[in-house]
Structure 1
Amino acid sequence: MQIQDLPYADPGVPDARSGPRFLWWLFRNQLGGQFKSLAWGLLHFLSVSALPFCVGVAVQAVVDHSGRRLALAGGLLALCCVGNAVGDTFLHRTAVTNWITAAARVQQLLARKAANLGSALTRRVAAGEVVAVSTGDVEKIGWFVEAWSRFTAAAVTIVVVCVGLVVYQPALGVVVAVGLPVLALSVLPLLPRATRRADFQREKAGRATELASDTVAGLRVLRGIGGEELFLDRYRRASQEVRHAAVRSARMWSLIAAIQVLLPGLLLIAVVWYGVHLARQGRVEIGELVAVYSSVMILTYPLRHFEEIAMAYSFSRPSAGRAARVLSLERATPSDGAAAAEVPGDMPSGDLYDPATGLLAPSGRLTAVVCGDPDAAGLLAERLGGHPSEGGVSVLLGGVPLDELPLDSARTAVLVQDKDPVLLSGSLRELLDVPASGDVGAVEALAAAQCADVLAALVQGSLDAEDPMDARITERGRSLSGGQRQRLALARSLFTDPEVLVLDEPTSAVDSHTEARIADGVRDLRSGRTTVVFTSSPLLLDRADRVVLVHDGEVAAVGVHRELVHKEPRYRAVVTRETDDEAALNDARHENHVRHEKDGVPHEHDVLHALEEIEESA
């Protein structure tokens, strides 16, 4: 896999049972790149490690006054330098390729999982953890996958050099062959503590990231209540905790690095002392001593890769664990191939029915749903979009379970706009660059959502945009008010024109006059299409073809707004937001009215209404 071939046509199905299994899965999916990196790494490390032998031959040739061996040593040195340059160049190229392709595979897997889970992702995983996984964790995972082939090349090189030293000069070679494994394994007892400190640092960093994300998202509200200083102090404390954790982690890794410098230095001293002793006895020639001494110095370079692989694994293992936890999440009732194969090829249409609550949204009509619990309303809206709760039954569209449809078909058939929709940064034209039926134009959708003042505000805030469609929208639309963001999101949903549109409190942040016009615009634009609106606004409820009251997880009443207001106390309590005393008084009046009607006696309100009609006619 080359960088120019990214993204992957199919990133594959990851082994998300644990972090190490996920890392092994990534490694197995890059065997070609790993072998290339290993081959170039061996050329590089062996070329570097062969330089001391060439120097030793050259020194001995000078001592023996041998021009032929000196020329041979010069030729070998030139060959090693060429191998070093070529190997280093292509090792870096293949290593970076392995890093980027591994990171890209993880990012594609995360993006696919986020698209599959939708809004359920942030309810199962903290927002800070999602941010950490998709940014820093991806780089750490790619680092370990890339570093493994270089570590393997370094380890093979050390083994080859040790064997070569034993053959070349047995007396000194044995000392080096025994000392190098001790150096490589000397830091192992410190790795668990270093790993724990690194994990603690990343945990603190994830919490700080989540706090920063929440603070930025609610900055407008915080300024309104004067709470920005409070949250700033909280973030400052969280940032300091991250700093302290990072310092403690760095101290441990600096200790490991110091040991990796100290022990090779001690080995070098031992080799020189013993070599000089052997040279005095005539058992070692000067060239051999120089070659062994230089080899020990050179081997500190591949030895560093032992420290690097330990650090890469310590950092990547928890990162891979977090990524595996996200990738292991599934839809509550995942569809299988057999079930999907039985679904007809045409897009399903018809009534939308939720067996769990008994909610029915007839095809082609505007259905309003009133639910006293906003959280329950949000869960029900998500379930209508094809994400049933754990152990729950699937919603039916035209008799077909949504969770048995291929995900792209389900998303095309039903679109859910939650109560806090997200606007991505970019131009308004890019905001509306979404899959759509083509039957609804952008101008119609914007007009139905009453976005005229929003367009004017966008043009006024842009320096070079004359066409409102080219006006820039800041990240998450933070330069706009809540009502303006809500209307732009509604326009985007209307422009998409799905078979079924589910809106969760689409006008909660707009004034009543605008809300009334939006209600008329949505009703007219969605005529003949199935629309479900979760709301408690009388203006929207009055324009619905059908109003459903959901109470305690099941349908409690069905009718039209004006009828339910008079006949259903629970509905009236939610819509009019009346107190318990007012509810009791209205119930008493209603019972009194029913009793008078039964007895044939006009109710006082009926009398007053008749008198008003007489006065108006007069």
Structure 2
Amino acid sequence: MQIQDLPYPDPGVPDARSGPRFLWWLFRNQVGGQLKALAWGLLHFLSVSALPFCVGVAVQAVVDRSGGQLALAGGLLVLCCAGNALGETFLHRTAVTNWITAAARVQQVLARKAAQLGSALTRRVAAGEVVAVSTGDVEKIGWFVEAWSRFTAAAVTLVVVCVGLVVYQPALGVIVAVGLPVLAVAVLPLLPPATRRADLQREKAGRATELASDTVAGLRVLRGIGGEELFLDRYRRASQEVRHAAVRSARMWSLISAIQVLLPGLLLIAVVWYGVHLARQGRVTVGELVTVYSSIMILTYPLRHFEEIAMAYSFSRPSARRAARVLSLERATDTTGTRDGSEPAAGDLYDPATGLLAPAGRLTAVVCGDPDTAGRLAERLGGHPSQDGATSVLLGGVPLDELPLDSARTAVLVQDKDPVLLSGTLRELLDVPRSGDVGAEEALAAAQCADVLAALVQGSLDADDPMDARITERGRSLSGGQRQRLALARSLITDPEVLVLDEPTSAVDSHTEARIAEGARDLRAGRTTVVFTSSPLLLDRADRVVLVHEGEVAAVGVHRELIHAEPRYRAVVTRETDDEAALNAAALDEGEAPAEGTGATALDHGFKELQDIEESA
């Protein structure tokens, strides 16, 4: 795989059982690139390591006054320099290719996992961890995969040079052959503490990244409550912890680097001292002594790759562990499904866990006293089963988990209570997979986005058409209600068989909410729509209202019946107090209307007044 061939047609199925297994899976999938890097690395390192032999031959030729040997040494030097240049050039090229393709493979499998899990991903893994894995961790994993082939080439070179020196000059070669392995393993006792410090640094950096992302996401709220300095101080402390951890980690790696310089120097002193002693006795020639001396000097270069591979592994190990943790998250069943997805799924939407039924082609409103329960139920209706092993939701009698993931996502669309608007133009925002039966103008009108379009044009410097106006990242230049309405328009334009909306109008005023309820109801006529809400304006437009209490369906009816007949429903919708609930319960037991001034009657009166205003308008 070359860089120009990216992305991979199929990045493969990762082994996410552990960090080391994930790294090994990456290596197995890049055997071709690793072998190429190994070959070029051997050419490079062996060419560099052969230079001392050429120098030794040249020195001895001068001592012996031999022109033929000097010419031979020159020719060997030319060959070694050519091999060095060629090997280093293509080693770098192949190593970078291995790095980038490994990082691309990791990013592709992470993106595929995010698409499979959808909104459930950030509920099971912290958002900061996902960001860390998809950015910095990917780079560190690629670094280790790339460094492995160069380390292997350096290790093979050391073995070859040691054997060659023993054969070339046994007296000095034995010292080098014994000393170099000692140099290679001398830093091993320091690697565990260095790795622990690196892990701690990565952990603190991940926490700081998560804190920064949360602070940026909630900046508007922080400014509203005057909490910028509080969160800034928290980030300062987290940043200082990262700095201290980085300094402690750097000290350990500095010690390892110092040992990598000190020990070869001591070996060099020992070889020179013993070599001079042997030269005086006539047991070695000057050229042989220069060759052995130069070899030790040159071998410090491949020895540095032992330090690099140790650093690469210590930094990539926690990164691979985090990536494996994200990639190990699974959907309840295989995303390919066990049923044929060629026929579009349709019919009633039914949740066996709660008993919730949303008849096909009708608008069903669901009232939950707990917003978190509502969010989890909305996720389950979208084909994301809960972690407690609850039975899959049925669409037309077919479990969503048995459908291929693409078919399930096409059939059911879930818009959560905090939808995300990506940066770009409004036209790009609404450029989503759709049935083609609902146009952009219809969706925007149903979501009551007229004022939003005007605000986009007014805030744009060069866009006369609202569709060409740019939306900032996450729609931060818009109000909460404007973002909600644009997200609702995006959901409406897709025109799915089943649309699940979680509190779609919580940030808009009552008049706009009433018009959205009418517009969405008309636009979704004949399609199944489920709305999680406690707003009377939406509940009154629903064909069917379902109260879910303590994880089960407690009541089914229409809004006006339930508000008077079901105390639990009334408590959620009207937010009435316990005293008001007791008064209303007593009145209903005696066959009387709810007490005047309680939440139920006040809500009824206010709602009728709002209806009169809309009709007069």
Tell me which interval the TM-score lies in, with the shorter structure as reference length: over 0.9
> Which of 434, 437, 440 pairs up with 2:438?
440
User: Match of 1:54?
Assistant: 54
Distance apart, 1:589 and its partner CA = 2.2
**Aligned pairs for 1:10-49 within 5 A:** 10-49=10-49
**Contact preservation (8 Å) 1:426, 1:473:** yes
User: Match of 2:480?
Assistant: 482
User: Match of 1:565?
Assistant: 563
Deviations 1:75-124 (A, max 9, x none): 11111111111111110111011111111111111111111111111111
Structure 1 residues 123-132 or 99-108, which shifts more? 123-132
Amino acid of the structure 2 residue aligned with 1:72: L
Aligned residues, how many? 596
Distance apart, 1:443 and its partner CA = 1.4
Distance apart, 1:401 and its partner CA = 0.2
Distance apart, 1:431 and its partner CA = 1.2
**Contact preservation (8 Å) 1:441, 1:495:** yes
Q: Residue 468 in 1 paired to residue 466 in 2?
A: yes
User: Match of 1:316?
Assistant: 316
Deviations 1:3-51 (A, max 9, x none): 1111111111111111111100110000000000000000111111111
Specify the SS of the correspondent of 1:532.
Answer: strand
User: Match of 2:545?
Assistant: 547
Distance apart, 1:344 and its partner CA = 5.7
User: Match of 1:510?
Assistant: 508
User: Match of 2:393?
Assistant: 395
Specify the SS of the correspondent of 1:416.
Answer: strand
Q: 2-side partners of 1:341 and 1:33: how far apart?
A: 37
Q: 1-side partners of 2:457 and 2:263: how far apart?
A: 67
Deviations 1:549-572 (A, max 9, x none): 111111111111111111111111
Specify the SS of the correspondent of 1:347.
Answer: coil
> Which of 348, 351, 370 pairs up with 1:351?
348
Deviations 1:500-542 (A, max 9, x none): 0000000001111111111111111111110000000011111
Specify the SS of the correspondent of 1:7.
Answer: coil
Deviations 1:462-510 (A, max 9, x none): 2222221121111111111111111111111111111100000000011
Amino acid of the structure 2 residue aligned with 1:545: D
Distance apart, 1:271 and its partner CA = 1.2
Q: 1-side partners of 2:163 and 2:550: how far apart?
A: 77
Question: Could you state the TM-score of these two structures normalised by the residue count of structure 1?
Answer: 0.95
Amino acid of the structure 2 residue aligned with 1:175: I
Q: Residue 582 in 1 paired to residue 580 in 2?
A: yes
**Aligned pairs for 1:406-417 within 5 A:** 406-417=404-415
Q: 1-side partners of 2:238 and 2:514: how far apart?
A: 45
Distance apart, 1:595 and its partner CA = 10
User: Match of 2:205?
Assistant: 205
Alignment identity in percent? Answer: 89
- How large is the Cα RMSD of the aligned pairs? 1.6
User: Match of 2:177?
Assistant: 177
Deviations 1:165-217 (A, max 9, x none): 11111111111111100100000000000000011111111111111111111
Unaligned runs of 5+ in 2: 595-617
Q: 2-side partners of 1:129 and 1:335: how far apart?
A: 25
User: Match of 2:362?
Assistant: 365
Q: Residue 272 in 1 paired to residue 282 in 2?
A: no
Q: 1-side partners of 2:255 and 2:401: how far apart?
A: 54
Distance apart, 1:593 and its partner CA = 2.8
Deviations 1:221-271 (A, max 9, x none): 111011111111111101101110110001001110111011111111111
Specify the SS of the correspondent of 2:463.
Answer: coil
Deviations 1:444-464 (A, max 9, x none): 111111112212222222222
Specify the SS of the correspondent of 1:466.
Answer: coil
User: Match of 1:334?
Assistant: 333
Q: 1-side partners of 2:252 and 2:205: how far apart?
A: 18
User: Match of 1:191?
Assistant: 191
Distance apart, 1:594 and its partner CA = 5.2
Unaligned runs of 5+ in 1: 597-618
Q: 2-side partners of 1:534 and 1:465: how far apart?
A: 36
Specify the SS of the correspondent of 1:501.
Answer: strand
**Contact preservation (8 Å) 2:338, 2:404:** no
**Aligned pairs for 1:269-308 within 5 A:** 269-308=269-308
Q: 2-side partners of 1:335 and 1:297: how far apart?
A: 57
**Contact preservation (8 Å) 1:343, 1:400:** no
Q: 1-side partners of 2:491 and 2:274: how far apart?
A: 80
Q: 2-side partners of 1:344 and 1:71: how far apart?
A: 76
**Contact preservation (8 Å) 2:335, 2:405:** no
User: Alpha carbons of 1:434 and 1:344: their partners in 2 closer, same or farther (altered >3 Å)?
Assistant: closer
Amino acid of the structure 2 residue aligned with 1:275: G
Question: Could you state the TM-score of these two structures normalised by the residue count of structure 2?
Answer: 0.95
Q: 2-side partners of 1:262 and 1:425: how far apart?
A: 54
**Aligned pairs for 1:155-166 within 5 A:** 155-166=155-166
Amino acid of the structure 1 residue aligned with 2:366: V
Q: 1-side partners of 2:539 and 2:138: how far apart?
A: 47
Q: Residue 534 in 1 paired to residue 528 in 2?
A: no
Distance apart, 1:588 and its partner CA = 2.1
Structure 1 residues 382-391 or 580-589, which shifts more? 580-589
Q: 1-side partners of 2:43 and 2:226: how far apart?
A: 63
Q: 1-side partners of 2:593 and 2:365: how far apart?
A: 31
Distance apart, 1:336 and its partner CA = 7.1
